[in-house]
Amino acid sequence: KMASQLVLNNNAFALIIRDEFGYPTEIYPIPALSAEAIYDKQYTLYLKFLFANGKSYTFPYADIIHLRQDFNNNDIFGDSIAPALSPLMEIVNTTDQGIVKAIKNGGIIRWLLKFTSTMRPEDLKARSDEFAANFLSIESSGAGVAATDAKAEAQQIDPKDYVPNATQMDKTTQRIYALFNTNQKIV
């Protein structure tokens, strides 16, 4: 638990429970949402933890095991990787959404009917629905041939499947691996 917190937050905490003589008897990981450094009047350091259930607890820093990494801007806590990870995850999310939309939209329009005269919107819809029912439905008795008159020209649309740039996706993945000091072989 502490190892994953350390990787994700650059901080991991555990509480040391001591006996009446001050010797450690138990250690509990602290799965807190946030931690705040507090000093009393004697400049003793305490950590106030906020938990997912909304409760907060304060413990003396002397009773905390604090693992930290990448600490530069703060004397006590490690710097969060969120500022570096957020833009990369946004790229991944945007690419994933684009792929899903491209797949959904890839099969929407297969035919284009060009009418030679101006028509009302409801007539356009009626004619296109009629064309789809007569020639594109799998239940139609047609022989795979569509016939139109001089009022319309039917043109089949060549579907273009969107495939994201593999090199760009690989570079983004490698940057995420680098943030966590790992690689494809380990994962």
pLDDT digits (tens, 9 = 90+) for 58-110: 999 999 999 988 777 777 888 777 777 788 888 888 888 877 777 766 666 66
Mean pLDDT along residues 139-165 = 63
Beta bridge partners of 34: 50
Q: Is CATH 2.30.30 correct for 2-80?
A: yes
> Rounded to whole angstroms, how far apart are CA atoms 136 and 16?
71
SS3 39: strand
pLDDT at res. 121? 84
Q: In whole numbers, what is the pLDDT of the chain averaged over residues?
A: 81
Answer for the pair 52, 43: CB distance below 8 angstroms, yes or no: no
Q: Where do the structural domains in the chain lie, given as residue ranges?
A: 2-80, 83-179
pTM > 0.85? no
The edge-to-edge listing of strands for the beta sheet with 45-50 is 34-39, 45-50, 56-60
Beta bridge partners of 96: none
Q: How far is CA 139 from the centre of its chain?
A: 41
pLDDT digits (tens, 9 = 90+) for 7-38: 888 899 999 999 999 999 999 999 999 999 99
pLDDT at res. 29? 95
